[in-house]
């Protein structure tokens, strides 16, 4: 792993979830720079800012006010400047409909929010260690749903 920082973005309206995620990412061995957004509209305004460094990976909550995660996913994947961004859905939902819909709309991985800090830390670290080029070229329903 190089010394280059991984530019990670989290869009989640739950302040406690953002705080736990921030703490988990600080404690893993991979060097990251995390930017958090409270809802999808903030995220999209950031991504559409001219000349910003685009994130290496976006963790996207589905259930957010103003603009939800599914709306963001569709908007990102329909924008030629953003469509190649890697997106991890990060949600409490384990509904097959949500999993299927995010898969069909181009998300790269689906992570159910773990119910404890150690599992969260382990999941985030494992997702950040993925070889995304390889992972996305072999994407299918089995590799899409990230299991702990």
CATH placement of domain 6-146: 3.40.50.2300
What would the pLDDT profile of 14-52 be if each residue is shown by its tens digit? 999 999 999 999 998 888 999 999 999 999 999 999 999
What would the pLDDT profile of 87-99 be if each residue is shown by its tens digit? 999 999 889 999 9
Residue 131 has pLDDT above 80, yes or no: no
Q: How far apart are the first and last CA of the chain?
A: 23
Q: DSSP assignment, residue 85?
A: -
pLDDT of residue 115: 87
* 110, containing H or E segment: strand 109-112
pLDDT of residue 143: 56
Residue 119 has pLDDT above 80, yes or no: yes
Q: DSSP assignment, residue 39?
A: S
Q: Where does the pLDDT of residue 1 fall: very low under 50, low under 70, confident under 90, or very high at 90 and above?
A: very low
């Amino acid at each position: 792993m190089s010394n280059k920082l991984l530019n990670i973005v989290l869009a989640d309206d739950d302040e406690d979830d953002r705080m736990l995620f921030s703490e988990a990412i600080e404690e893993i061995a991979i060097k990251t720079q995390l930017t958090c957004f409270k809802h999808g509209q903030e995220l999209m305004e950031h991504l559409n800012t001219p000349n910003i460094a685009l994130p290496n990976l976006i963790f996207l909550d589905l259930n957010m006010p103003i603009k939800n995660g599914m709306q963001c996913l569709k908007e990102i994947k329909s924008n030629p400047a953003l469509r190649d961004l890697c997106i991890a859905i990060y949600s409490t939902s384990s509904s097959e409909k949500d999993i299927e819909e995010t898969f069909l709309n181009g998300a790269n991985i689906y992570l159910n929010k773990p119910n404890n800090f150690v599992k969260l830390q382990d999941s985030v670290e494992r997702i950040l260690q993925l070889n995304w080029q390889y992972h996305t070229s072999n994407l299918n329903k089995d590799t899409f749903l990230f299991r702990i």
